[in-house]
Amino acid sequence: MELDEKQSLVAPCGIPCGLCELHLAKDDPKLREYFLARGVPAERIPCPGCRASGGDCPIHPGPCATCECVQAKGHTFCHECGDFPCVKLHPAADRAEVLPHNLKVYNLCTIERRGLDRFLAKAAESKARYYKGKMVIGSGPQLG
């Protein structure tokens, strides 16, 4: 799949790198200072995204096994793999309040079923529902 510039800011695992604060620090000095104060090296800010960095995320220790797996198998996204969803995408309660890792399978299913452009059109709302939504059983996270 040929990806344009905006699309290439979606990681193989479905995380929209273009909405990540480490990427957004390119246009926000306060975000840059926030990450510098937390020990992220200046040369790693802003993050260009998983695809451009080869899965070398500034806050991830070492190379990303998910990115390496997708590249080794010749896929663009994890959902293209016969092993999808695998343990690398399994949700976890650990740090769910600060990391978007539990969105991966949802994001990948959305990309697969609706396409990358439609996913990107709703990605910011999806992120807001994850972090700011109030769960209504049977209806999912509600905003406002």
**Residue 61 has what pLDDT?**
82
For the chain (length 144 residues), average pLDDT per consecutive 10? 86 95 95 95 94 90 92 96 96 90 95 96 95 94 92
- Reading the block at residue 87, the tokens are 């343990």
**Residue 82 has what pLDDT?**
97
pTM: predicted TM-score of the whole model, two decimal places: 0.88
Nearest to 14 by CA among 93, 142, 143, 114: 114
Per residue in 111-136, pLDDT (tens digit) is 999 999 999 999 999 999 999 999 99
**Residue 103 has what pLDDT?**
94
Domain boundaries, the chain: 7-142
- Which strand (E) or helix (H) includes residue 122? helix 116-132
**Residue 117 has what pLDDT?**
95
